[in-house]
Each structure stands twice: as structure tokens, then as C-alpha cells.
Structure 1
Amino acid sequence: MKKILKRSLTILVSSLMLTSCTPPLWFIKDDTGSNNYKDRQQLVFTHLWQRGSTNYTEINNLIKKFNESDIAKELNVYVKGDGINFWDYWTKVDLSISGGNAPDIFIHAVSSTPTRINQLLNLTAMHDDDVANGRDTLDENEMFFPSQINDISRYAPDGKSMHAWPFSSTVRVIYYNKDLFKEAGITETPKTWAELDAVSEKLTKYNTPGDVNSGYAQVGFDPFTSEGQYIHQWGWLANHSFFTEDSNGRPVPHFNDSTLIENLNKVYSSYVRRDDKARENLQKFMSKEAANSKNPFLTQKLAMVISNEGLYTTLKEANVDFEYGVFEIPPMDESCNYVNWSSSYSIELFDNSKRSNTSDKVAEQRNRGTWEFLKYMYQEEFQEMIANAGFMLSNRTFYDKFIYNDPIKTDLANAIANTREAEFIKAVPNWTSDIQTYVNSIYSYPNGKSVEEAMNNAQKLIISKIDQYYSVNGK
């Protein structure tokens, strides 16, 4: 889980970095007004905006505003913010939950929500209770795309209730250099893998024109650079399912199916990786860029790259002098579906009826309080703060105000409808990172494995982990 989080939370880190001229953390006051509410029931909101970080003041002001609201007074509750630095956050939250001292409200990863689902408040039930009692409420079906709802609800005990809401959205798309496209006479973005590879060839240049031995001066597209390095992304783009179930409900892995290997071979034999010489050229090209601490897309040495919404923030901050755009990663062919790996963040409410030494009355009070605070978080002012912090909003009801006035954000938002979280498999919860060693070995220069060798190894690993899980846990 830690490996997945560290890989996929780049945008979160950048939005939470400490500013260079903030005062010492002990000097910064907790201005949520919590000292004024000692007669109320405390609700702890654990988040990633620690003292001194960007947006710390904004999050505190929003918490304070909720604490002063009529609903907080009516329920006799107040929210106390608990900001933790990024690198310690995940361990501390997980330990607090497992240790019986879970925060009432916390940010986490959608991919791991199923591991906590039996301890979380049923948000669909809270919505239904609002409707039954004539209270103002929010409808998850109006706020989120169906794919976002399915990624959470399918793991619920009833297979349909929401026990978390998407806090923000992560999308993986292809960024492209419009100036280089224009220079090469390319007028349309590619719609299939074959078109993408053909465009890459047109955009690839050699140090000596036409001489493959001279090395790359400019690379059109490498499918495995940056956020393109994950094998499940490419499998999904070929309509491949990595897991099915046997008659006993046990997961059956499919990492070395012939159709998957066939399609992966197409990707791994892309123009800039098509043979040993091409792979050598690519290795030297990327090593040179890394040695110079340069992002090859920003320096216009790489014409297209798979990345998430975080690259847009980087491009704006770098104030690059070229035009760029984004398009969805093309599927393998026209018979396949558009899909991109999301790895988004969730907001979750601990079910206080599961908390030891808590009366039913207090549990109900705290659950209503956290639910009202959650609804408050999805109102305009809070959503504006999240958008300004660099996150891609999950609540699409505010896209008109905070997204659709920006063409890049608009294209990013349009791709959310095709996002997908990696399947949660209880026996192998970290399967995407478990196989990455084998994925990285494929045709790596100079002694890499073939696709078939690597995926056979991945299949054996996942089978062994599944067998080990069931030998310990039984059915």
C-alpha cells in the first residue's frame, strides 16, 4: 500500500509543501476556535495540511466556520483539525484505526477503502435518513461519475452503498506539445494505439537526421515513461481482466494470458523501443535528461507523455513557452474502451457505533456531526479551496465554476468518466506494486526479460501469494 501511495500522490505532495518563509510551527496558532467549544462533543478531522503548510490557514478558517454554524450548535459538536505531514500521515492514520482510536473524519486512498469498509459510516444510509426526515442533503449520484461510485460501492456488504466519498479525482492522460505537432504537420490527436505509435515515429528525431546510431535528439512518445509504467493500465486498454473467480470465490489471476502478452508486445515494441538499438538509444536519452535534472517534456525533448493532473500544475509554475494540450490514452483498437487508472483519494467517516466505550446516544450524535461536516466539505467554499490547492475536484456539480473555465482542466475532467481503480483483491491487496519488479525488467537495456518471461514470473508470484493467503486464512 505504501508503494502505491508514494507513487500516486505526487499532486498531493506538491499542494502540501511547506512555504519557504513560514514561521516556526509552534508559533502558528490553531485558529479553529476549538478552545471555545469545550462543552461540545469533539470530532477529529485528520488531514494533510499540517501547521505551516500551504492552505493551512484556509482549512482552519473553513473548520472554524462550520463550528460557528447553526447545525454544529444544534448537534452540540465541534470539529478539531489534526494536520499531519504527508510522509507520516498514512502510517499514523492506519495505526490510530487499528489501535481503536480512529479519527472521526479522515482522508485516505480509494484503493484501500475496502480494508476499512466494515468500520466506516454508511453514507448512503445517512443520505436516506436525511430524506426521510426532510433535511437538506447531497446525492452521490449527482456529484460523482458512475465509475467513481462503482469503485467504492461494489465492496460494500450490500454491493451498492457508499461508505466513502471521492475526495478528489486523479486522471492519467497524455500531455502533448502542440508546437511540435504543428511542426510535424500533425493535425489530430491519435485515437488508437497504432495511430499513437505512428505519431510518435513522426515526432522522433535523431542527433544526425536519419541515422539511428546517432541516438535520439527528440522522442515522440515512450509508453512507459512517467505515469505510463503500470502494466494494468495497458491491459485494461486492451479490455483485459487480470482477475476472475473460481467456483469457490477465490481469485484466479490472468497475468500471462496469450492475448495479454500479444497486446503488451505491441506496446513494448513501440517505435522508440522497437529493437535493441532503439532501447539503447532511449536508455541513453532518458539518462542524459535525468543527469541534467530536467523534465524532457518541459524542455520539449519529449513530445508526448502520460501523466496526471499534477503535471498541469508543474507546467503552469514553469511558465513554459510552448502550447500544450491533453488527450485520453488511446485504447488498443477501436473495439476496446477508453480507460485510465485513477488511484484517487477518499474522505471517510468512522462509524462511532463501532467505537468502544461510546454510548448509542453519543455515537449517533458524533455520526450526525461528521455527516453534516462532510456535506459542508462538498459545498462551494470548501470545494473552491480544494480546487485552488491543485486538486482535481470529484464533485462535478462545481465544474462549471472551477473547471470548465480552463480548457486543460476541462479535458482532464472529461477523462474522469473513464477512470478506474485497480481491483481490490483481499488475498493480494498490493498486486499492482507486487508485480512491478517484473514489469520493470521487460526489455530493460541491456539484459531485460521478454514480456512472456516477465508475465510468467508475475503469474507465479500472484498465485503463490493467493495460495499463502488461503492457507493461513482458509476460505
Structure 2
Amino acid sequence: MFNIKTVLGISLAAASFNAFAEKQTIDFMFPSPVEGKFTQEMTKVIKHFNESQQDVEVRGIFTGDYDTTKMKAEAAVRAGQAPALVIMSANYTVDLAINDMISPMDELFKYSEDKVSANDFLEKNFWQPMHKNAQYNGVTYAIPFHNSTPIMYYNKKLFQEAGIKEAPKTWAELVDAAKKLTNTEKGQWGIMMPSTNNDYGGWILSALVHANGGQFNNPDYAGEVYYNSPTAKGALQFYKDLVFKHKVMPSGVLNSKQITAGFLSNKVGIVLLSTGSLGFMKENAKDVDFDVAFLPKKVRNAVIIGGASLVTFKGISEEQKKAAYKFLTYLVSPEVNGSWSRFSGYFSPRKASYDTPEMKEYIASYPPAKTALDQLQYAHPWYAMYETVPVRQAMENALAQVVSDEKKSVEDAANEAQKKADELMKPYQDKTALSVE
């Protein structure tokens, strides 16, 4: 929970600059991507910031999920009302930079008292796996705010009843455990994983592709995805087999709310979800004794970075840039960012958060909060490409087909997804393929 005594005691010296002629109001858009009281908590954070100083008034605007937040921010820019700061899905940075919608972070950091560059601030203060999704062509366009990896939640009581002694570490062990946990008479499923087209399905699927030894996309080129590669088809097949071959997961598209509800009612033994759900799970698991573990591997341990970063859109005034810098450095200060991590379940991307007494005590008292952080040694960047949302949804639609229709072949679904993605990325592919006259 947000600690007002801690936050109001934070020195804002690092964010200080010449006094404003008058209080500057800025718009701050923020999503609520997973279950929980995120909106109420962020409202508190904004209120505490506004009360802690006299120069800036932040107007918080709740914008729904990640995809909706992107659409609303872009619409505000087109209407001449660009938000000064937005918590944006970390994998949209590249797309927004390509389309010239956001400014390099140096537009804000030029107002830092010590004149530190955004690149230096990012690279010195944040975990290395977050850097790739914050930059485009070596330029920092985003500052990480909260981050995640997918983790495995498992019901300890159901494990004990099924005679399972430890969390599965491989896909084969996962299937075996899920079979033992499935009980049709009780309406109990062995496993559930998201398969929606609102980013959750693609995120989990991409993690499985990497765990299968492959890549979901080219991390260095925004016009290339590998949807019909052997490793991607293997991940799709794994999803499909859980439903139709092993019969340990219900057919049809599953969203995170369904999955969470099933887990919290002792009707699902294993779920793969974001560590960002940990706060909600911890608060609501009244009758569920659960623990968390690494994502199981096929060929290798691998996870995908998730979460969100702070970006600034083009079209704001210099006064708004100064105000946005002050609020940004407040949000990612070790104390505030650590407090948000403890509330939400996301891990803090700011390394110094884990040096604070509050975070040390929290990690010591609640070890599951460290699982996602421990997985960073196996982390890969989140998929980020030209037209990220529709390109991602091309593969998510393929996923929805194979978990809903037993007759739909993985081969056809993957090839169709690849064809659609290539059509969407063609303008970028053509542009980058042009020769120089």
C-alpha cells in the first residue's frame, strides 16, 4: 500500500529546477492492465505528488487497458491535446517512435539539474533487460515504470492432494502435473493460460516460443516476425494439445479474469499469469494456499519482459516538459517505485528500490515477490514492431482458433498469421528495403 509518510519525505532535489511562474497543469494518462485496485492507488500517488510541491498539478486520466491507452493518447494528440506523460505498454515504444508520435526522453531530461542524459539515467539506474524496450535506434524514448515477467502460480493444497511434490520445471512435467490435477467430476482443471487478443495471449505465447528455443520476432528490426517458424508452431501446438489431446485445459479463449476466478475458487491447479497479478492474488486468496515458480521450459528457461514505461508525446509546451520531468522522476524514485511494486506485484525496474529498508523487509517477508526478479537472467525483450497491435493480434487470432477448433491445424493457423503480419508490416519493410540514390 502506498505509504504517504515515506513518499512525502522523499527529497525532490534530483527533480528540482527553476520555479514556475505559475502552477503548471499536465495531463497524465494511465491504464489498469491487470486485476486489482490500480486506479484507486494511482489516484493516491497523484494526490500525494500534487500535495508535496507547489509547481505542478497533475491531472490523472484513467484510460483502460494497454491497447485502449495507446488509442486514446494518439487521439488526444490528433485533437491538439497531447498528454505530457503516459504509462504506456513497454512494447509500444518502437511503434510510437517510428510513427513520430513520442519525443526522445532527452526533451524532458534537458531540465535535469545535473544535466544527465536520458540514456545515462536509463542505463545506470534500471535493470538491463528493460533497456531494449525503452530505446529505438539507440535513443531512449521511454523510462520503465513497472515491469513483469510471466510466472507460474500453483495451488499447494491441490498439489498435495494429487501427490505432486514440487512445481513442474519443464513442459513435460507441466503436462504430467496438469493431468493429475484435472478432475472432471469436481469441475477442476489442471491448467489455464490466457489466449485473448488483448496482448495477454500473445505475451504468454511469445514466452513459450522463447522457452521452445526460438524467437517471436526480430528484436533488432521492426519489420520481421517468425510466426510460422518451427518454434512458434511448437508453442501453438502445446496450447492446442493441452486442450484437445491432454484435456487438462478448457477449450475456447480464456481471459485473465476467468483464469484468476478459477484459481481463487480452487478450481484450477496451475495458471500462467503476470507477476503483476501477484498483489491481487495475495489480497484475494482467502481460501487458497498458493505459491509461484519460474515459467516451465521446453528447450531453455525463457521469459518475456512485460509491463509499462513512461513516454511523453509530441505537441506539449516547454513548461509542460519541465513539469512532466518533475513528475516522471518522482514516479521512478526508488521510494515511490518500490511502494508501487509492493502494492501491485510488478517488480520495480529501478534497481535502487531494492536497497530501501521497506523493500528489503518486504522481500524477506514475502519471497514470491522476488520470483519475477530472479527470472530476469532468462528474460528477453517484449515483441515490438511496426504496427505492433494488429501484427500481434494476427498471431493471437491464430491462437484463438487452435484452442477453439480441434480441426484447425497449427500449420494453417501459423501460416495465415505470418501472411497477415507481413501484409501489415509491408510499408515499413518497403521503406527499409529502398536503395539509396
What range describes the TM-score normalised by the shorter chain of this pair?
A: 0.7 to 0.9
1:44 maps to 26
Q: Distance in 1 between matches of 2:410 and 2:383?
A: 22
User: Residue 352 of structure 2 aligns to which amino acid in structure 1?
Assistant: T
Other-structure match for 1:86: 63
Provide the alpha-carbon RMSD of the alignment.
4.1
Which one of 371, 387, 405 corresponds to residue 411 of structure 1? 371
Distance in 1, Cα, partners of 2:320 & 2:27: 12
Q: 1:65: Cα distance to partner? A: 1.2
Q: 1:311 to 1:428 in 2, by over 3 A?
A: closer
**Cross-structure match for 1:348:** 311
- Change in Cα spacing, 1:294 to 1:193, as seen in structure 2 (3 Å) is closer
| Contact kept? 2:27, 2:61, Cα under 8 Å | no
Q: Please name the residue that 1:29 is paired with.
A: none
Alignment of 1:43-122 (within 5 A): 44-48=26-30, 53-67=40-54, 78-87=55-64, 90-117=70-97, 119-122=102-105
The answer to whether structure 1 residue 282 and structure 2 residue 250 are counterparts is yes
Correspondence list, 1:191-206, <5 A:
191-206=169-184
**Alignment match of 2:333 (pick from 369, 372, 379):** 379
With CA pairs under 8 Å and 6+ residues apart, which has the higher RCO, 1 or 2? 2
Instruction: Give per-residue Cα distances to partners, 1:263-311, cap 9 Å, x unaligned.
Output: 54344323x5316xx38x8349x99x97xx9822112121100112343
Aligned to 1:456: 415
How far the C-alpha of 1:419 sits from its partner, in A, is: 4.3
1:146 counterpart = 2:128: yes
Query: Structure 1: how far apart are the matches of 2:333 and 2:388?
Result: 37
Report the AA paired with residue 438 of structure 1.
Answer: A
- What does 1:292-331 correspond to in 2, within 5 Å? 295-331=261-297
2:188 aligned partner, one-letter code: Q
Q: Contact 1:43–1:370 at 8 Å: present in 2 too?
A: no
CA–CA distance in structure 2, aligned partners of residues 316 and 301 of structure 1: 17
Query: Secondary structure, in 3 states, of the residue corresponding to 1:430?
Result: helix
Contact 1:237 1:337 in 2 (8 A): yes
Task: State which drifts further: 168-177 or 219-228.
Answer: 219-228
Larger Cα-atom Rg: 1
1:183 and 1:57 mapped to 2: Cα distance?
42
Counterpart code for 1:237: A
Matches within 5 A, 1:176-195: 176-195=154-173
The residue matched to 2:311 in structure 1 has which SS? strand
State the alpha-carbon separation in 2 of the partners of residues 454 and 145 from structure 1: 36
**Residue in structure 2 matched with residue 332 of structure 1 by the alignment:** 298
In structure 2, relative to structure 1, the CA distance for the partners of 1:94 and 1:219 (3 Å cut) is: same
1:148 Cα offset (Å): 0.4
The whole-number CA distance in structure 1 between the counterparts of 2:195 and 2:424 is 28
- Larger deviation: 105-114 or 422-431? 422-431
Q: Which residue of 1 aligns with 2:401?
A: 441
Distance 1:204 1:330, change over 3 A: same
What's 2:383 paired with?
423
- CA displacement at 1:204 relative to structure 2: 2.4
One-letter amino acid of the counterpart of residue 169, structure 2: K
Name the CA shift for 1:127/1:436 in 2 (closer, same or farther; >3 Å).
Answer: same
What per-residue deviation string (whole Å, max 9, x for no partner) do you get for residues 81-130 of structure 1?
11223347544422233444423333222221223435424349948975
Structure 1 residues 471 and 349: alpha-carbon distance in aligned structure 2, compared to 1, 3 A threshold: closer
Instruction: Tell me the distance in 1 between the aligned counterparts of 2:390 and 2:174.
Output: 30
Shift of 1:169: 1.2
- The answer to whether the 8 A contact 1:428-1:466 is kept is no
**Cα deviation 1:137-190 (Å, max 9, x = unaligned):** 98433432111012222x14xx2x322111111331110011222233322222
**Counterpart in the other structure of 2:213:** 239
Quote how far apart the aligned CAs of 1:225 are.
Answer: 6.2
Q: Deviations over 1:327-349 (max 9, x none)?
A: 1211213xx2321351x111124
2:152 to 174, 194, 198: 174
For residues 143 and 38 of structure 1, the distance between their equivalents in structure 2, rounded to whole angstroms, comes to 28
Between the aligned partners of 2:343 and 2:222, the Cα distance in structure 1 is 42
In structure 1, what is the equivalent of residue 354 of structure 2?
399
Distance 1:179 1:43 in 2: 51
Match of 1:219 among 177, 181, 189: 189
Letter in 2 for 1:379: S
TM-score normalized with structure 1 length: 0.69
- Residue 376 of structure 1 aligns with an amino acid whose one-letter code is Y
Query: What is the letter of the counterpart of residue 171 of structure 1?
Result: T
Q: Residue 187 of structure 1 aligns to a residue in which SS?
A: coil
Contact 2:162 2:181 in 1 (8 A): yes
Q: Could you tell me the TM-score, scaled by structure 2's length?
A: 0.74
Q: How many residues align?
A: 392
1:264 to 1:452, Cα distance in 2 relative to 1, 3 A: same
Change (3 A) 1:128 1:329: farther
- Deviations for 1:405-429, whole angstroms, at most 9, x for unmatched residues? 4222122333355444433222555
Q: Give the deviation of 1:131 after TM superposition.
A: 5.1
Give the letter aligned to residue 309 of structure 2: S
Q: Would the aligned equivalents of 2:251 and 2:403 in 1 still touch at CA under 8 Å?
A: no
Question: Which runs of no fewer than 5 residues in structure 2 stay unpaired?
Answer: 3-18, 33-38
Q: Measure, in 1, the Cα distance between the counterparts of 2:21 and 2:110.
A: 28
CA apart distance, 1:236: 1.8
Matched-pair contact (CA < 8 Å) for 1:138–1:375: no
In the alignment, structure 1 residue 273 sits paired with structure 2 residue 253: no
| Cα separation, partners in 2 of 1:474 and 1:233, compared to 1, 3 Å | same
Question: For residues 389 and 103 of structure 1, what CA distance do their matches in structure 2 show?
Answer: 26
Structure 1 residues 391 and 39 mapped into 2: Cα distance closer, same or farther (>3 Å)?
Answer: farther
Match of 1:432 among 382, 387, 392: 392
Is the CA contact (8 Å cut-off) linking 1:123 and 1:164 kept in structure 2? no
Change (3 A) 1:147 1:456: same
